[in-house]
């Protein structure tokens, strides 16, 4: 019964991470990026950029909690000797670290936007931050997919 509960928590956490990441990357980002490109010279651009950052922050916080729950489940399994799959624990830790990195970059993006407003939108630093967030998102999704495809 205990293993069933741990498996349910793991499945739910991975579903939130993968499902939310796909929705954010496939639906929210293209919608806001298109609107941002159309209004790059107007006063609307900083507001759309902030909406985009805030939307990703909400997902990232939820994914961070899910990854923490996944890591706790894996630690419980290893400590209780229910599993000896240390690779699962390491991947969950890497995912948690990548999510913490994403939140740190998002904080920098938001600070830059709050400080420089319209000048920050489309700037070299802001674009580099967005690219880093995209790479971290891809890494997180790949790790989550590996954890789904290769369960303990």
pLDDT score, position 15:
95
The domain spans of the chain are 2-149
pLDDT score, position 75:
92
Cα-based distances in Å from 114 to 51, 55, 67, 126: 12, 16, 29, 12
19, 101 contact by CB (below 8 A): no
> What is the number of helices (H) and of strands (E) in the chain?
5, 0
pLDDT along the chain (152 residues), means of 10: 91 94 78 63 71 84 96 92 85 96 89 73 76 90 93 70
Matching residue, tokens 């950029």:
49
- The half-sphere exposure of 80 on its side-chain side, counting CA atoms within 13 A, is 10
pLDDT score, position 149:
92
The 10s digit of each residue's pLDDT in 56-94 is 889 999 999 999 999 999 999 989 888 778 899 999 999
């Amino acid at each position: 019964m205990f293993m069933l509960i741990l498996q349910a928590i793991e499945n739910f956490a991975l579903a939130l991470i993968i499902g939310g990441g796909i929705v954010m990357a496939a639906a929210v980002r293209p919608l806001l990026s298109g609107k941002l490109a159309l209004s790059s010279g107007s006063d609307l651009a900083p507001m759309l950029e902030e909406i985009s950052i805030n939307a990703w922050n909400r997902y990232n916080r939820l994914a961070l909690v899910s990854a923490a729950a996944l890591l706790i489940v894996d630690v419980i399994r290893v400590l209780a000797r229910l599993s000896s799959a240390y690779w699962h624990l390491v991947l969950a830790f890497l995912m948690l670290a990548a999510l913490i990195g994403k939140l740190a970059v998002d904080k920098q993006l938001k600070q830059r936007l709050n400080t420089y407003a319209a000048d920050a939108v489309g700037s070299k630093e802001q674009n580099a931050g967005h690219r880093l967030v995209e790479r971290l998102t891809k890494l997180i999704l790949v790790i989550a997919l590996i954890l789904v495809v290769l369960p303990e």
